[in-house]
Amino acid sequence: MERKVRVRFAPSPTGPLHIGGVRTALYNYLFARRHGGEMILRIEDTDSNRFVPGAEDYINEAFKWLGIKFDEGVREGGKYGPYRQSERRDIYRKYVNQLIESGRAYIAFDTPEELEAKRVEIANFQYDARTRSSMRNSLTLSEEEVKSLIDGGEKYVVRFLVEPDRDVVVNDLIRGEVTINSSILDDKVLYKSADDLPTYHLANIVDDHLMEVTHVIRGEEWLPSAPLHVLLYEAFGWADTMPQFVHLPLLLKPDGKGKLSKRDGDRLGFPVFPLQWTDPKTGDISSGYRESGYLPEAVINFLALLGWNPGTDEEILSLDDLISKFSFEHCSKSGAKFDFEKGKWFNHKYLQEMNDEQLSELYMPILAEHGHGDADAATVAKIVGMVKSRINFVKDLWEQSKFFFEAPTTYAEKDVRKRWKEGMATTMAELIEVLRGIDDFSSAAAEPIVLGWIAERGYHLGNVMNAFRLTVVGECKGPHMFDITEVLGREETIRRIQAGIDNIKPAE
Ligand code: GLU
């Protein structure tokens, strides 16, 4: 019988969630939704040395911002819980014992010093079929010795007994069938008595089994974990319900080869985390997509296309579009270059799709910061409509529209040199007279009057209009001139032209 699709995203709370992890979660989410399945958020916190306070909250907040909803998890609850591995100790202990009893795992007492000594003695030392008989473990010690060491409080680990020279087949939805010889694997530690916790490998397998996970979609480098996991499923007798593996392509540096890292973000100036993160130890701040002004929809769209395509060249895809089109057939095996310029492009596109009122609501707090919190909402919406095609981020609106709110106090030098020739002040004084005579200052009404005056006087259209713009905007850029003056109104426009006449000095 077909099992209901159940997937999980299983981050370790060792710091802020990397953007690659977000993509992994997104693909899990798309796949689950596409197949009417369920998605779990499981916190893999069994490595107490790497635990970072705040990381779990960060993960939850990031997905909330992105609009990725889990069906089960630490916050959501669910009947397969607890969903935090540190709260599942009793469960793991039982399964560790099961492997020991069936001879698929053994107890090892080797201290870190003893292991280090072996590494020095034997080049490329690996704890495996060739070496385990010369180590201190339950295969080489008698039952009584083992018991007395444990009773005496000696720390131990439980290791998986990997049979050598077996071909292990990993079936991966993206990579196909891959065969790996078991001799390359070491006898991985599954459990540590020191903190009474399993390691990642054991906890991960046991939980995927108990939580009835059908597809393990992960983004990490997949060797040697995947073959080891196949062997673990077999050892537990769970081969029949082993999840389908899907190992996603890596996210690569924007320039050159290699995996995308936090340092690439610092070096090239883009965030590699969904939300801003403050390191609890050092206080260092790493930037986030949210705080950098990205819309969550744009981030989702951008990430979805890093390693997957819809089979067409469509690029703007909403979450619902993505869900209806997602499949692993269109995932690539090779790594996906992290093109952050494309990320900005997506944000630009999503901002254009918002209506002017929505966008002005996002703009209001920025205006307030600049002392214009009292700006009229309808006017702001009109202004936003005029300049939005020029922005990648909401914060860019200020740079593009500040002249609507504040008269220029300086004038761009190169524009002055080009546009403010001898005699222009006189022409602008004449323009003031023309504007004074215009009652309806709307763009449609004012434009033909001003253009008519220019034509009648035989002035050069470009020269006059650019000088006009220079006085009003402070430089020769911005939307249609008469749309600007419509918003400013007659008196303010005239004041600005007069200020230009008084303050702009023609270049030598
Ligand atoms: N806790 C593991 C990690 O964060 C989970 C990997 C997996 O998806 O199985 O890398």
Contacts of 131 (CB under 8 A, 6+ apart): 118, 122, 125
Closest CA to 343 of 277, 246, 258, 260: 260
Q: In a mutational test of the pocket of ligand 1, which residue from 200, 225, 245 has the highest number of ligand atoms less than 8 Å from its CB?
A: 200
* Ligand 1 contact via 135 beta carbon (within 6 Å): no
pLDDT tens profile 431-454? 999 999 999 999 999 999 999 999
What would the DSSP string read from start to end of 168-226? EEEEETTTEEEEEEGGG----EEEETTTTEE-HHHHHHHHHHHTT--EEEE-S--TTHH
Q: What is the pLDDT of residue 48?
A: 84
Which atom number of ligand 1 is nearest to the Cα of residue 44? Answer: 1
Q: What is the pLDDT of residue 46?
A: 93
Which atom number of ligand 1 is nearest to the Cα of residue 24? Answer: 8
Q: Given 192, 253, 262, 402, which residue is catalytic?
A: 262
pLDDT tens profile 83-96? 999 999 999 999 99
Tally of CB atoms within 10 A around 153: 7
Q: Give the distance (Å) from ligand 1 centre to CA of residue 56.
A: 14
pTM to 2 decimal places: 0.91
Q: What is the pLDDT of residue 94?
A: 97
Average pLDDT value for residue range 489-507: 95
Q: In a mutational test of the pocket of ligand 1, which residue from 9, 204, 217 has the highest number of ligand atoms less than 8 Å from its CB?
A: 204
Q: What is the pLDDT of residue 256?
A: 78
* Ligand 1 contact via 10 beta carbon (within 6 Å): yes
What would the DSSP string read from start to end of 51-113? --TTHHHHHHHHHHHHT---SEETTTB-TT---BGGG-HHHHHHHHHHHHHTTSEEEE---HH
Q: Give the distance (Å) from ligand 1 centre to CA of residue 219.
A: 8
pLDDT tens profile 245-272? 999 999 999 987 899 998 999 889 899 9
Task: State CA 497 to chain mean position distance.
Answer: 47
Single-letter residue type at 217? I
* Ligand 1 contact via 218 beta carbon (within 6 Å): yes
Q: Give the distance (Å) from ligand 1 centre to CA of residue 213.
A: 14
Residue pair 163/182 in contact (Cβ under 8 Å)? The answer is yes
Q: What is the pLDDT of residue 508?
A: 65
Q: Give the distance (Å) from ligand 1 centre to CA of residue 39.
A: 15
Average pLDDT value for residue range 363-378: 96
Pair of tokens at residue 127: 């704890």
Q: In a mutational test of the pocket of ligand 1, which residue from 218, 244, 259 has the highest number of ligand atoms less than 8 Å from its CB?
A: 218
* Ligand 1 contact via 12 beta carbon (within 6 Å): yes
**In whole angstroms, what is the distance from residue 403 CA to residue 469 CA?**
11
* Ligand 1 contact via 44 beta carbon (within 6 Å): yes
**In whole angstroms, what is the distance from residue 400 CA to residue 410 CA?**
16
Would strands 72-73 and 38-41 be described as parallel, antiparallel, or unpaired? parallel
Distance linking the first and last C-alpha atoms of the chain: 86
Q: What is the pLDDT of residue 224?
A: 77
Q: What is the pLDDT of residue 221?
A: 72
* Ligand 1 contact via 204 beta carbon (within 6 Å): yes
Annotated active-site residue 262? The verdict is yes
